[in-house]
Chain A
Amino acid sequence: MKKSVKLIGACTLILCFFAFSLNSCSKEAEKNIDSKKNIAFITRMNYGYHWANVKLGADAAAREFDVNIDYAAPNDEEDIECQIKLVNEALDRDNGKKIDALILAASDYKALVEVTEKAYDRGIPVIIIDSEVDTDKIHSYIATDNFEAGQKAGKALVNIAGTDCKVAVISFVKGTRNAEQREEGLMSIINKYPNIEVISKEYCLSDVKLAYNLTKNIISNNSEVDAIVALNEVASEGAAQAINEMNLGGKVKIITFDSTLQEINFLEKDIIQATVIQNPFSMGYLGVKYAVEAMEGKQIEKRIYTDSKVIDKDNMYFPDNQKLLFPFTK
């Protein structure tokens, strides 16, 4: 009889042990949820208003969908080799932080094809944002419709400077897809008006100083320039600074891209007459969102264009526009 009492006692102990271990088990399980999905997020540059906003959008999505994002970017927009290296590093990483998806803003239309396809062949979702890569082996492409944005800049130019003027174009890196498409869009409008003459086309290589100097050179070489179209934020800031310093504000009209604080100030001071704003926040946000959906096996759209919009001094404080111009930074 005593023996059986002992046995029952032992069984109860075992049961208690089980119950406790179950308890601790569930706690451990909760800790293990920490193993979030990793997404490699590789952009063209690691500074600038545009990329900061892309990152803000990505961060918002990371918070919402509970994923880890590893940001990486070369210091210089032209450093294509460095970007390829970064993508390879991300793909070959296997120290427990293997990436589950790749989001890439390609520095070059052709050069990034190989690593993009490599990532695609690994079976991980590949989302290309901002600038295109010349391959079909991607899951989604999210960007501004740069041709359309170029057209918008062209229309703004016509509205502001009229159909009879001399125009200088400051683009960024020669041969990049975005620059080409914006130029094409712009030219498609300009070419409709035979009296609009493009007297100069320069590339500032994403260097504000260079853009500034280029603008000064253009003005001093061609005193009759009526308008400047700057095709990205760096070119825009450089051009506006130069015009502001030369006290030509309002005389030489400036059509720009993007909306850095400096650009907005210039817009308010009437140095810049219009700016085509993109939606970098949406790019970052949607990039991560679609990467997550692709990881979950959902069907996602192959090609998504985020809005672009022309902002001028009059409409900049419209409720809808101020939301675009002044992002909530937290």
Chain B
Amino acid sequence: MKIRIISSIKSYFSRLINAIKTRSIQFVIASSFMLVTILAMFFVGITLYGKVSELEEQNATITTRQVMDQVNMNLDFYIRSMMEISDYLKDSIYYCEDIENSNLTEEMEVIKNSRKDMVALAVFSNTGEMIAGAPTYKIKDNINVWEEDWFTAPLEDSTILFFSSPHVENIFEGQHNWVVSLSREITLNRNGKKENGVLLVDMNFNEIDQICNKVTLGKKGYIYIIDSKGNIVYHPQQQLINLGLKKENIDDVLEHAFGKYFDEYEGQRRLITIETVNNSRWRIVGVAYMDEISAIKESIGDYSLWIFAIGCLFAISMASFISAKISRPIKELEKSMKKVEEGQFDVNIDVKGDAEVAQLSKTFNIMVQKIRQLMDQIVVEQEAKRVSELNALQAQINPHFLYNTLDSIVWMAENGNSEDVITMVTALARLFRISISKGKNIITVREELEHARNYLIIQKIRYKNKFKYEIDYQEEVLELKTLKLILQPIIENSIYHGIEYMVDEGFIKISVSIVDGKLLYQVDDNGLGMKKQVLDNLLLQKSKSSNGSGVGVRNVHQRIQLCYGKEYGLDIESELEEGTSVKLWLPIVKDENLGDNKNEKEC
């Protein structure tokens, strides 16, 4: 099975190679089909690839933007909830008549406990003394709020809502959470006096971490947050940033409040997208790695390449299949033609191809049929030739003629007309010698004329000088070759049908000449002539006149044509009461040996 498949593949390839070498129809069809298909696929592939990659890039940008909007919303929501708490506390402190004697601490404790993400709440006087705070842990004794930004900034600018960078909670003992501090200036009533202070809300940094750390941009991409001074508020690899194992190009980011740009980091192209968080001066920075987008592009490219390759394979197989299908009937036709070329005429192609090929094979069939017919015809003609030769042979020894002649001789001998007897017997003897002429079919014109003369001599004596004759010839024709015994049947015809019933004396003229490069025998008589109808039918094969007249003439005509071809033969003109003129056209044959041999065989 395997071997068969392999061998079939091998033969297929060898045929293919052959097809390429000979530039066969199959090859032309297959190659053009392939070329067109592959080009089309190539074009479509490239266009699709370009479009998809473009869309992918757009998509990445849009996704980044959406992700960051989401983060922004969440952060905004979170910060706003913290601000609301601080608003609430600020108001309640403002309306509290004496802060020392209020239940502010309890209130703050309740608020703090209601929210897990709140680490500490504290109110400081403008001297840095803590007035109230939650949790109610012991405050660290070494703390100096004047060194802290969250304390000094609101006191310097009372409108500000201060957000700190993440730092470790360091006010209460035993607490080391990372927090983000929100602080603002407040007005409080203490000991009947209005003074300003600072409200501090410490938010657990974990909350911001949780909002951000699930966010990824692609596989490697991430977001981070910086504050207005460029301190990193949040980074997924915060510890690496803290330890200086990783850096971000903060300076570039600070130049943009929002928007996007590309940068280069450790040899990787990155898409940086920046948004500013509402209510704070934080900026969210999205980092997307371009090589991921290009990885998608690459995979799309790979995929298209595969499709292309399979498509090509498919196109090639389809092309070879279709081309084989189209060219197979043509090849079959070609094979049949080869057979015909080798001489087998009995082929009959049964090609079921496309319209053109079917038509072609039909025509070819007709042609082969015609050839077969023609060949059959040749066989028939050969047959006819043999029959006519037999006829000629019969003409050589026409028993009727011999009987009549001998009768005449006897009759003359009885009358003692010895001179005529001698003449007649001599002529008869010559007649037969030439007519037999060693079995040859081809003789010289001289001999043919001699034959005719002897025949005329005999007939003239038999018909008691009822006619005269004349033989006229050019010297140069005498040695030319000619079919034998062609004049005698014409002369016989002239005598029997033209002169025998004439009242006046008859006259037969035989002339031989070269006209238009042909040898021309002409037998003219002044006999009765023939009717047009008779004349027209005389040379046609199938016609048979009632009295058998003209059989000899037709035989001569056939013999000449069989021997020399259709352009030769008899040409008869006849006029009633005027006479008949028979022209025998033959080719000029000079070459003795060749002509002799050939003619002897063929004629």
Contacts and interface: CB of A to CB of B under 8 A. Distances in A.
Given A7-B321, A330-B213, A323 B242 contact: yes
B239 A327 contact: yes
B243 A326 contact: no
B310 A60 contact: no
A15 interface: yes
Interface in B8-56: none
Given A285-B240, A323-B242, A330 B303 contact: no
B189 interface: no
Interface stretch (B170-178, B444-452, B477-485): B170-178
B321 A328 contact: no
Given A261-B176, A323-B243, A11 B318 contact: yes
A328 B243 contact: no
B167 interface: yes
A22 B240 contact: no
A279 B170 contact: no
A268 B571 CA distance: 151
Contact of B303 (A11, A26, A265): A26
Interface string B168-206: 101001101010000000000000000000000000000
A40 interface: no
A249 interface: no
SS class, residues of chain A in contact with chain B: helix
B239 A328 contact: yes
A268 B140 CA distance: 9
A19 B310 contact: yes
A282 B243 contact: yes
A173 B177 CA distance: 34
Contacts of A265: 174
A190 B484 CA distance: 155
Given A11-B318, A281-B243, A325-B168, A26 B142 contact: no
Interface in B204-262: 209, 213, 237-240, 242-243, 245
Given A4-B325, A22-B306, A281-B243, A328 B238 contact: yes
Nearest to A325: B168
Contacts of B174: 265
A23 B325 CA distance: 33
Contact of B167 (A15, A279, A313, A322): A322
A279 B240 CA distance: 11
A170 interface: no
B176 A22 contact: no
B299 interface: yes
A22 B310 contact: yes
Nearest to B322: A4
Nearest to A261: B176
Interface in A1-36: 4, 7-8, 11, 14-15, 18-19, 22, 26
A22 B318 contact: no
Interface string A296-330: 00000000000000000100010100111111101
A57 interface: yes
B168 A326 contact: yes
A8 B318 CA distance: 8
A114 interface: no
Interface residues of A, number: 34
A319 B164 CA distance: 12
A5 B428 CA distance: 86
Given A57-B239, A264-B176, A313-B142, A18 B245 contact: no
B165 interface: yes
B375 interface: no
SS class, residues of chain B in contact with chain A: helix
Nearest to B210: A330
Contacts of A26: 299, 303
A135 B318 CA distance: 67
B314 interface: yes
A261 B177 CA distance: 12
B173 A281 contact: no
Given A11-B317, A26-B303, A268-B142, A326 B237 contact: no
Contacts of B325: 4
B429 interface: no
Given A60-B240, A64-B237, A265-B174, A282 B245 contact: yes
A60 to B, nearest CB: 6
Contacts of B311: 15
A324 B178 contact: no
Contacts of B240: 60, 285
A7 B209 CA distance: 62
B307 interface: yes
A22 B315 CA distance: 18
A286 interface: yes
B460 to A, nearest CB: 83
Contacts of B173: 268
A281 B239 contact: yes
A56 interface: yes
Listed residue (B167, B242, B307) with the most chain A CB atoms within 10 angstroms of its CB? B242
Nearest to A1: B352
Contact of B310 (A15, A279, A328): A15
B213 A60 contact: no
Given A279-B243, A281-B243, A285-B245, A326 B176 contact: yes
Contacts of A57: 239
Nearest to B242: A323
A264 B178 CA distance: 15
Contacts of A328: 178, 209, 238-239, 242
8 contacts: A8-B318, A11-B318, A19-B307, A22-B307, A268-B142, A317-B167, A327-B239, A328-B242
Given A326-B178, A328-B239, 15 more contacts: A7-B321, A15-B310, A18-B310, A22-B310, A26-B303, A56-B239, A60-B239, A268-B140, A282-B243, A285-B243, A313-B142, A317-B168, A323-B242, A330-B209, A330-B213
Closest 4 pairs (CB-CB, A-B): A323-B242, A322-B168, A328-B238, A328-B239
